[in-house]
Amino acid sequence: MKNKITLEIIWWFITAIIVVLFLIPIYSNIGKDYPFYFSNILMIIIFVTFSRYIFQLKHTWLARNKWVKAVLIFVMIPIFFWVTDSIYNFQNHVEKDGFATMMIHMNPDEAMNLSKYIRYQYIFFGTSTWIVLILFPIRLLISIWREINTDKV
């Protein structure tokens, strides 16, 4: 169990590094004016964590917790709708307002490149999170079935 906790801490540290690496260009150029920090950070965390759980479930704290896995299956539904709403709000903001008001102080070429970066990384993590939120409950169901019928994870 100690190894699982150590591995979990290492992965949370790696996840934090990934979040910082993807959002530092936005923060260093726009600062606090970017309205999607919370949803962007949460989608990156969900994507990395649940992807890890999909492929390495037997090495996590979740491996032998049937009831937690069963609850998580149903928790994925509201998270999926929240991600859908967040992506819709982001797309709506990009189409209506764009990022031009936040990037007035920047060179037009740099502003264009940064706005492309923001859009591509947000859409990437949003759609990746969608996919993970569909696959993770399936993986949990398979794990519960295996645990009940064959005593494997």
Q: What b-and-e string marks burial along 42-76, b requiring 16 or more CB atoms within 10 Å of the CB?
A: bbbbbbbbbbbbeeebebbebbeeeeebeebbeeb
What is the Cα–Cα distance from 31 to 102, expressed in whole angstroms? Answer: 9
Identify the pLDDT of residue 151.
72
pTM score above 0.85? yes
- Terminal-residue alpha carbon distance, the chain: 15
pLDDT at 91 over 90: yes
- Give me the mean pLDDT over the 135-139 stretch: 96
153 pLDDT tier (thresholds 50, 70, 90): low
What number is the average pLDDT over the span 75-102? 91
Q: Give the span between the Cα atoms of 84 and 31, in whole angstroms.
A: 25
User: Alpha carbon of 56 to those of 15, 52, 116, 136: distances in Å?
Assistant: 15, 6, 33, 11
Q: Are 30 and 103 in contact (CB under 8 A)?
A: yes
Residue appearing with tokens 């295996």: 146
Q: Which residue has the tokens 């999607």?
A: 36
Q: Above 70 in pLDDT, residue 92? A: yes
